[in-house]
Amino acid sequence: MCFRLPIVRTAAKESFLNSPASGPPTTKRQRAKLRKRTIRLRRQRSHFLRAVASIATSSIGSRTLGIIYPLLAVAMGASPMEVGLVTFALTVPGLLFYMPAGVLADRLNPRSIMLFTEITRGVAVLSVLVPACVYKVTIYHLVLVAFLEGALGVVYSLADTALLSKLIPDENMTKRLAASETGVHFAVLAGRPLGGLLFQLGAPVALFANAMLFLCSGLFLSAIADLRKRRRRADSARHRQREDVRWSVRRFLAETRIGVTELKRHQFMRNAVFATTTTNFAINTVIVIFLAGSADVPPYLVGIVLAGGGIGGAIGSNLARFKVVQKYTRPGTTALLVQMWIWVFALCITTLTEPMYYGLATLVTGCAGSLMNVSIRTYELRNVERDKLARVVSVHRLASHAAVCLAAPLGGWLATIGSGRNATGFIFAFAVVMAIGASVMMPRWRGVPEVLSSPR
């Protein structure tokens, strides 16, 4: 029996189209509606795959540059202090630009931001390539370009979060986030060895290949349709901002604080920031302790240990696609506490101070961390307002990045004042105290249970 849906767009109409029990469309209007929805989903999936390809390609470029620039400084005859300055220039922009980049990603078109960063990064690499061909690269030039690469990488990472939020439908959000996470982990896993291999072929070859990677990333982005909506309203808002001469100072600081305020509004996000910051700090400190005492360890074994995190991350992100795993990693306090105790177990293994156990620990933490990343990103897309998403993510990533930066000097200091077993034992004890404190406090912080809502 045929029946007509009301002309007005209602939630009942959408549920009819999305319901598997609604049966095949019987009226001309239903068939047209289904055809439009199918075309929209196919186009959205195509754009999503191109965005993931761009993110993966850009991640490979960033990781290879993290190896190429310090190696180029060494090849130029730079002192250890100068090599350290190049590495510092690659990492310090994360502390400076995460919050401002979140404002830009929320206020501007993320696809345009990503295109701009990829073009600029490619030009920056080419600016090093030309003098590298005649062996006239200066250390000041290299530090400047490394700083620019770090800053643009931060902006790109937040813009891609804003872009993916527009390309992922609610019905298979977790699976697509897991696919994006898998691409990033494989890029991280391949980037550093590829950087060393390319540099072995010569600095000009490595730099040219890196510029091509950024070009490919930009081409993937250019194939994505412009997703801006309500352009007239956005243009009028930008016009009002231009009229306010104080916007660049007071308004910008106010926009930055919105991310912190929005994050405080979500109990799960506050708990997630604490859990990820603590665990990242602990495992990165242990990695530095391992590297400080790896003088007698074969280089290939060091590489395998460091690759454990990437391998575990790829495994975890693939596991996140299964519904059975999604059931146990659903955003909530329990999932965060389980993650922290898994990391405590992994840090306990490192107290045995053998390379095999360090590698096993990085594998376990990489897998658990990837599963939790998918869970946190799912919560962010479903619960955080879309026009504030990048700013909330920027606060979270700033805390994690600061923990990683602090882990390096602390790990080196612990390795100098005691044996590897004592140093890793100290970090293990720290992780136990944090996990016990979280187990006691997080249920009290939770208050009213939060229920996942529909995307805003």
Domain span(s) for CATH 1.20.1250.20 in the chain: 39-225, 256-456
Q: Which of 295, 428, 316 is nearest to 377 (CA)?
A: 316
For the segment 392-403, what is each residue's pLDDT rounded down to a tens digit?
999 888 998 888
Query: Which tokens go with 124?
Result: 């920056």
Fold of 39-225: Growth Hormone; Chain: A; (1.20.1250)
The confidence score (pLDDT) of residue 356 equals: 86
- What average pLDDT score do residues 300-316 get? 83
Q: Quick check: 247 pLDDT over 60?
A: no
For the segment 409-425, what is each residue's pLDDT rounded down to a tens digit?
888 888 887 776 788 88
Q: Is 221:111 a contact under the CB 8 Å cutoff?
A: yes
Query: Which tokens go with 156?
Result: 């790109």
Query: Which tokens go with 192?
Result: 């550093």
Residue count of the chain: 456
The confidence score (pLDDT) of residue 226 equals: 62
The confidence score (pLDDT) of residue 246 equals: 47
- What average pLDDT score do residues 2-17 get? 41
Average pLDDT of the chain is: 80
Question: Which has the minimum average pLDDT: 324-328, 382-386, 441-445?
Answer: 441-445
Architecture of the domain whose range is 256-456: Up-down Bundle (1.20)
CA 282 to chain centre: 19
Q: Quick check: 120 pLDDT over 90?
A: yes
Long-range CB contact pairs, 378-381, < 8 A, 24+? 378/173, 378/174, 378/177, 378/331, 379/266, 379/268, 379/269, 379/272, 379/331, 379/452, 380/269, 381/165, 381/168, 381/173, 381/177, 381/455
Query: Which tokens go with 134?
Result: 């005649």
For the segment 14-60, what is each residue's pLDDT rounded down to a tens digit?
444 444 445 565 676 766 677 777 777 777 778 888 888 899 899 89
Confidence of residue 86 (pLDDT cuts 50, 70, 90): confident
For the segment 58-69, what is each residue's pLDDT rounded down to a tens digit?
989 888 888 888
